[in-house]
């Protein structure tokens, strides 16, 4: 797991702040969210029409995206500075982080000691001001003039932490005392992309809220939109699973329970429960714990038979059938050095930094494999297994592990490499689904462990495409006629 709180480098310089007209916590209309299993259509717009929801249990009507309401938290740089202030973090790198042991006594000892919260309490939004900040724009623009998606993943990770900050309320915390929590990204469940390609010269907005809460874990749904021709249009939606830890990040900490304020929030919360059950099921069916099912075993055998010379009766004489590529030849690797600017509040490597480097490596492999520029369709699973120390040497390896028609599934594994002992420890895994216009060659595993990668890639691909999903995905931006069905 990676503690993904604050990345100290990057956005610290000159940022022209675009404060919204009101910094009071306004929210989107939760009743308007719709359920999507696949990629939302490019025509799905964030309407600027004034829509008033029914009165909630709090007795307030919520205006959905009023024309005078652009954001509630300022810019992403404002968000970062606020997180630093709330956690009481000292700015400036030192090899040793200041102790937070004095905050442990303020950590709630039970869920009952914390007041319940609704989804409306945590709803927030922030702007990436690409239209006004040229220095910031240079950090986001890609060589083709579009926005680097890896940079956006960094922002979504930080923004998810900010949403959790909005959810947490410790009533007995004395004024002036820093928040006695550490929030850790456990995994990113699923990210879907629309056909809209983000540009580098239009503002981008992140918005989201807490969608489910356990005793010490919390699920956050985050949307990203870009303002084009006066309207906010959806770019992507992501689900982050965060863990609440104590001030020293040594044990789990209780978090405010989530009590739905109305029927729409209850529907969203029930979807979070379904996704939790599905994650448990996936862990039980993991190929590292259980053998492939009968259908998958037959599939592996059929691939094996296709790749040998049956006339020779020799199992070790492998041949590559037409239209196939050996899995071992569809790979790419990169050595990444982490530096203090890539750290979080606890001198560990910022999770968004890992997400950005993994995504850009996967895109390079997809480009090289397809021989044409690919489109990122889904990020189906990002897992944080171990923290990464600053100054670590990371060996990132990307593999094309499954293809189907014009789609490819790529896994990126991040290993911490010890140059002295030569040992590698896998800290993160990332799964990406790309597409191109033309049909792709099929992947042929050569060894048993590659066959397991193939089956794992097939499972991830079918989940990303909404083929094998048994649960509903997170809420999508609204339409006027569709209610949220998580």
What pLDDT is stored for residue 165 in this prediction?
93
Predicted confidence band at 41 (pLDDT cuts at 50, 70, 90)? very low
Predicted confidence band at 95 (pLDDT cuts at 50, 70, 90)? low
Region(s) of the chain under CATH 3.10.129.10? 67-264, 286-467
The answer to whether 220 touches 210, Cβ cutoff 8 Å, is yes
What pLDDT is stored for residue 407 in this prediction?
95
DSSP state of 154: H
- Statement: residue 40 has pLDDT above 60: no
| pLDDT (tens digit per residue) in 391-411 | 778 888 999 999 999 999 999
| pLDDT (tens digit per residue) in 125-178 | 999 998 888 888 888 887 777 788 888 888 898 899 999 999 999 998 888 888
What's the predicted TM-score (pTM) here? 0.73
What pLDDT is stored for residue 441 in this prediction?
95
- Statement: residue 458 has pLDDT above 60: yes
| pLDDT (tens digit per residue) in 300-338 | 999 998 888 777 766 777 889 999 999 999 999 988 887
The region of weakest confidence among 50-54, 66-70, 442-446 is: 50-54
Spell out the residues 6+ positions from residue 118 whose beta carbon is closer than 8 angstroms to its own.
56, 57, 58, 258, 259, 260, 261, 265
What pLDDT is stored for residue 16 in this prediction?
32
- Statement: residue 375 has pLDDT above 60: yes
The answer to whether 107 touches 250, Cβ cutoff 8 Å, is no
Residue with tokens 């293809």: 403
Rounded CA separation 356/360 (Å): 6
Helices 149-167/351-370 angle, 10° precision: 150
Q: How many other C-beta atoms can be found within 10 angstroms of the C-beta atom of residue 298? A: 11
What pLDDT is stored for residue 102 in this prediction?
84
Residue 21: half-sphere exposure toward Cβ, Cα within 13 Å: 6
- Statement: residue 100 has pLDDT above 90: no
- Statement: residue 341 has pLDDT above 70: no
| pLDDT (tens digit per residue) in 348-364 | 776 778 888 889 999 99
Average pLDDT, integer, range 214-238: 90
- Statement: residue 48 has pLDDT above 60: no
CATH fold of 67-264, please? Answer: Thiol Ester Dehydrase; Chain A (3.10.129)
How high does pLDDT run on average in the chain? 77
What pLDDT is stored for residue 346 in this prediction?
60
Helices 448-464/294-306 angle, 10° precision: 120
Burial 36-54 (b: 16+ CB within 10 A, else e): beebbeeebbbbeeebebe
Average pLDDT, integer, range 278-284: 82
Residue 118: half-sphere exposure toward Cβ, Cα within 13 Å: 16
Q: What percent of the chain has pLDDT over 90?
A: 29
The answer to whether 411 touches 398, Cβ cutoff 8 Å, is yes
- Statement: residue 28 has pLDDT above 70: no
Which CATH architecture does the domain made up of 286-467 adopt? Roll (3.10)
Predicted confidence band at 369 (pLDDT cuts at 50, 70, 90)? very high
């Amino acid at each position: 797991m990676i503690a993904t709180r604050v990345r100290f480098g990057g956005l610290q310089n000159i940022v022209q702040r675009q404060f919204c007209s009101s910094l009071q916590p306004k929210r989107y209309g939760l009743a308007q969210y719709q359920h999507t299993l696949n990629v939302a259509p490019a025509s799905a717009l964030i309407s600027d029409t004034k829509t008033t929801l029914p009165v909630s249990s709090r007795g307030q009507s919520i205006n959905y995206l009023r024309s005078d309401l652009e954001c509630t938290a300022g810019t992403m740089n404002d968000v970062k500075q606020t997180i630093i202030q709330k956690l009481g973090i000292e700015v400036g790198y030192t090899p040793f982080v200041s102790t937070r042991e004095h905050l442990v006594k303020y950590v709630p000892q039970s869920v009952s000691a914390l007041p319940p919260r609704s989804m409306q309490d945590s709803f927030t939004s922030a702007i990436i001001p690409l239209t006004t900040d040229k220095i910031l724009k240079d950090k986001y623009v890609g060589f083709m003039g579009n926005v680097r998606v890896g940079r956006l993943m960094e922002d979504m990770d930080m923004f998810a932490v900010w949403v959790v900050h909005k959810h947490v309320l410790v009533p007995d915390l004395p004024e002036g005392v820093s928040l006695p929590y550490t929030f850790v990204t456990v995994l990113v469940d699923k990210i879907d992309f629309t056909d809209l390609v983000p540009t580098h010269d239009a503002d981008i907005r992140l918005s989201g809220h807490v969608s489910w809460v356990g005793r010490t874990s919390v699920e956050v749904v985050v949307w990203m939109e870009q303002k084009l021709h006066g309207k906010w249009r959806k770019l992507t939606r992501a689900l982050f699973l965060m863990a609440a830890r104590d001030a020293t990040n040594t044990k789990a900490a209780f978090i405010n329970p989530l009590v739905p304020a109305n029927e729409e929030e209850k529907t969203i919360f029930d979807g979070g429960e379904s996704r939790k059950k599905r994650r448990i099921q996936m862990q039980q069916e993991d190929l590292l714990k259980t053998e492939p099912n009968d259908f998958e075993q037959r599939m592996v055998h059929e691939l094996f038979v296709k790749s040998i010379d049956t006339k020779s009766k020799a199992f070790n004489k492998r041949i590559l059938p037409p239209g196939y590529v050996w899995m071992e030849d569809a790979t790419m690797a990169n050595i990444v050095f982490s530096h203090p600017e890539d750290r979080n509040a606890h001198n560990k490597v910022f999770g968004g930094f890992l997400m950005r480097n993994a995504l850009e490596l996967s895109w390079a492999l997809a480009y090289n494999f397809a021989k044409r520029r690919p489109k990122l369709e889904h990020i189906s699973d990002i897992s944080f297994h171990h923290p990464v120390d600053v100054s670590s040497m990371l060996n990132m390896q990307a593999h094309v592990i499954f293809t189907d028609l014009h789609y490819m599934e790529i896994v990126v594994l991040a290993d911490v490499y010890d140059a002295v002992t030569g040992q590698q420890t896998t800290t993160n895994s990332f799964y990406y689904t790309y597409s191109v216009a033309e049909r792709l060659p099929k992947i042929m595993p050569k060894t048993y462990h590659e066959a397991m990668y193939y089956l794992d890639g097939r499972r991830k691909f079918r989940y990303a495409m909404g083929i094998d999903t048994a649960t509903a995905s997170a809420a999508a931006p609204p339409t006027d006629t569709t209610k949220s069905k998580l």
